Structure 1
Amino acid sequence: MGSPQRRVAGPAAGYGAAFDRLFARGRDAVLAGTHYRDSPPVDGGRWGLSVVLPPDPPCAARLAAVTAEALAVAGPDHWPTGAPEAAHFTVRALEAHRSSVPDGDPLVVRAGSALRRAAAACRPVRLALRGLTLTPSGVMACAYPVDTAPDEFAARLAVDLGEDAWFEADFTRDIWYATLVHFTGPLRDPVALVDWVAARRSADLGDAAVDAAELLRFRFNGRQPVRVPLAGAPFGTGTG
């Protein structure tokens, strides 16, 4: 749940330029000590009910390994949100954070139904993970769609959600990504972190093959926000 941006269809070069801009902003913030410091979610804040693409197990293991490396440079107190219990590619946030989401919650019921309709009508998603970038709030894995399936699903989900899509109605996301580390305080060695990420701007992190989407809420487990699945929906064939 890093930078609040939305995706639009576009060539790979456009994604690369967006990640380049993020790196420049992140580098400047990290070196100046003005980077964002995250804190545990509170009601009305970030980390609300969302639809995400969870990484497949092999991808999750790769992201976890890179996250551990990044944390060793940034310092141990930052959030390892690339760990398997937390890693995700956000499709859409539906509301601000609620610390309690009861069984039978009306929004969860409606959103779960919309998720199942949208997923059934769309193809499985594949994202090529090529490189890392810095942001003013963390370290991010850069994801490049191999085809139009991710954006088609995001668009179909917005339609099927109807009025429940209001929360991000005015956002324009231009990238897919997974944030591996969220900064929570001072960095151990800012220069070393910038250099470490810079050396991995083009690293091949493999692909994420996503066969199902997930509706979830986030819970702070004392270490970091983690995913709490509320509904899942397998992708269909894209002929719906």
Structure 2
Amino acid sequence: MPSPFDALFERSAPLAQAGDHRRDVVPEENGRWPISLVVDQPPELTCALRPLTDAARTLVGPGHFVTGHPEAAHITLRALEPRRAATRKEDAFVRRCAAALERAVSRTPPPTFTLTGVTLTAISVMAQLEAVDGWPLMEAVEDELGDDASYERDLGLTRDIFYTNVIHLADDIADPAGLVSWVRANRRIEPVTFTARSASLVTFDHAVVDGEQMIRMDRWYTFPFAG
């Protein structure tokens, strides 16, 4: 049976080939990149993603966001509100969400995932993660947030996959055919299984690090998993 990652590739490969993919933009008011709850990537996943990020970056060319960079890479659990420049760490809403994440982390085991390959979306090159036991954490986060989980609910967004992106497309793709061929060849790779160590409430901002564009994270609150 085709997976959601297979469906993403089948829908998105023609868009990339035709240059009709979406183009990401720097964070702007009421737009993408709001404060979010994320699973922090452990070093073993960051290491496994490095060759995938490098290969994808070569094929897409300049002008894109290198999301696989250690300062940008993350596994999203929940976006919390529309992008707002005025949001501050001390805001009551932010503190409530951080406390909800802390409670969720305290009552769930460290989640384990397996990196199994890459796929395409309309706006990114995505690394697919199979959740060995990650869903209890996702459910605990929604439960602990309560009414503060309303942003994604109001958007009609249902999270049915875990993933981490290595590139967000922000410009034309230098080698569309090459990118699609490379993704197709790496839909399945030698699996890498890892266990997360912490989860964070983060903000995002555009940055240039070592000459590379990215949407860099700032961790406002971080909570380690027990054990």
* Normalised TM-score (structure 2): 0.92
Aligned position for 2:205:
219
Conservation of the 8 A alpha-carbon contact between 2:124 and 2:167: yes
Shift of 1:102: 2.4
Task: Map residues 1-240 of structure 1 onto 2, 5 A cutoff.
Answer: 17-147=3-133, 150-169=134-153, 170-204=156-190, 206-222=192-208, 223-236=213-226
Conservation of the 8 A alpha-carbon contact between 1:61 and 1:84: no
Unpaired runs of at least 5, structure 1: 1-12
Conservation of the 8 A alpha-carbon contact between 2:40 and 2:197: no
- The structure-2 alpha-carbon separation of the partners of 1:172 and 1:102, relative to structure 1 and needing over 3 Å to count, comes to closer
Tell me the distance in 2 between the aligned counterparts of 1:167 and 1:204.
36
Tell me the distance in 2 between the aligned counterparts of 1:208 and 1:83.
18
Shift of 1:60: 1.1
- Could you tell me which amino acid in structure 1 is paired with residue 17 of structure 2? L
- Could you tell me which amino acid in structure 2 is paired with residue 173 of structure 1? R
Conservation of the 8 A alpha-carbon contact between 2:88 and 2:94: no
Conservation of the 8 A alpha-carbon contact between 1:55 and 1:208: no
Tell me the distance in 2 between the aligned counterparts of 1:43 and 1:180.
24
Tell me the distance in 2 between the aligned counterparts of 1:193 and 1:58.
25
Shift of 1:62: 2.1
Give 3-state SS (helix, strand or coil) of 1:204's partner.
coil
Unpaired runs of at least 5, structure 2: none
Q: RMSD over aligned Cα, in angstroms?
A: 1.4
Conservation of the 8 A alpha-carbon contact between 1:212 and 1:232: yes
Q: Deviations over 1:150-197 (max 9, x none)?
A: 211111111111111111123212211111111111111111110011
- Could you tell me which amino acid in structure 1 is paired with residue 221 of structure 2? A
Give 3-state SS (helix, strand or coil) of 2:57's partner.
helix
- Could you tell me which amino acid in structure 2 is paired with residue 84 of structure 1? P
* Normalised TM-score (structure 1): 0.88
Alignment length, in residue pairs? 221
Shift of 1:122: 0.3
Give 3-state SS (helix, strand or coil) of 1:152's partner.
helix
Identity of aligned residues (%): 35
Tell me the distance in 1 between the aligned counterparts of 2:141 and 2:3.
27
Give 3-state SS (helix, strand or coil) of 2:159's partner.
coil
